[in-house]
Amino acid sequence: MKIYMIFTKKNSRNNMIKKAKLLCLLGLGFLMLNSCTEQNSKTISTEINKEQIIVENLMTRRSVRAYKDEPVPQDIMNVILECGVYAPNGMNKQPWEIRVVDNKDYINGITDLYLSDMDEDHPRNPKKDPNFRNMFRNAPTVVFIAMEPGLCSQVDCGLLAGNMVNAAWAYGIGSCIQMAPVQFMKSEKAKDYLDKLSFSEGYELLMAIGFGYPDEHPQAKPRIKEKIKFID
């Protein structure tokens, strides 16, 4: 089973930073240009405004729950992970550990285990869906994030995840942050699968993120802008 971990070698740290930033910017640029071509009423500027590109990427990103059966290439995944670990975090503690899995034996195996106790007649039994492939919203690549308990750890890991899903979107890669699979993976029944991720002692699995090329194009749900207030 192939599980790879994210780390940075000190002697190549600066090169990796430059590469991540360059590739992210290029990916965002392509996204902006593609978005513009779909809007015939707008004139495409020959100059790419980086602020507009970043805002466009953030505003168009959606949670994807249907994927093509194609794992994310590891070179692109490495950039996504690199963008993630440069998220802000309290006192630079970086209280996370990350495991990336695109091995079908692992994903299908834990999915079969998850389904084994489910009532066949349950209306929400995913096996009733002819397109169902796995418990991670059918994502071919899954990132597991564990945290070291601490005051800011959940916030820090949330910022890590945010960087990752937005960087992925710049490459046309969809994602979905998932909590339901985590509850099952913490159960005694799934202990062997959690152990295979080899998180350090004291770290607790917090979330799973599915990544893959989208097989759907969901629209944005309404946002409640009234929850934003400026205080004089």
What's the chain's average pLDDT? 85
The region of weakest confidence among 51-60, 64-73, 114-123, 135-144 is: 114-123
pLDDT single digits (tens) 8-67: 333 344 444 444 544 454 454 444 334 433 433 344 444 568 899 999 999 999 999 999
Walk me through the domains of the chain, giving residue ranges and CATH numbers.
3-227 (3.40.109.10)
What is the average per-residue pLDDT within 163-185?
97
Q: Give the pLDDT score at 7.
A: 41
- Evaluated on CA atoms 20, 23, 28, 31, the torsion sign reads negative
Q: Give the pLDDT score at 118.
A: 82
Q: Give the pLDDT score at 5.
A: 58
* Most confident option among 11-20, 45-54, 123-132, 166-175: 166-175
This prediction's pTM: 0.79
Pairing verdict, β 141-147 and 96-101: antiparallel
Q: Give the pLDDT score at 35.
A: 40
Cβ contacts of 128 within 8 Å, gap of 6 or more: none
The answer to whether 147 and 89 are in contact (CB under 8 A) is no
The answer to whether 18 and 79 are in contact (CB under 8 A) is no
H or E element: which one contains 18? helix 13-37
pLDDT single digits (tens) 178-190: 999 999 999 999 9
Say how far residue 81 (Cα) sits from the centre of its chain. 9
Query: With pLDDT > 90 as the criterion, what percentage of the chain qualifies?
Result: 72
Q: Give the pLDDT score at 47.
A: 59
pLDDT-derived band at 209 (thresholds 50, 70, 90) equals very high
H or E element: which one contains 23? helix 13-37
Q: Give the pLDDT score at 130.
A: 85
What is the average per-residue pLDDT within 93-119?
95
Q: Give the pLDDT score at 158.
A: 98
pLDDT-derived band at 75 (thresholds 50, 70, 90) equals very high
Q: Give the pLDDT score at 17.
A: 44
Q: In a 3-state reduction of DSSP, which class is residue 114?
A: helix
From the number of C-beta atoms within 10 Å of its C-beta (0-12, 13-18, 19+), residue 224 rates as: exposed
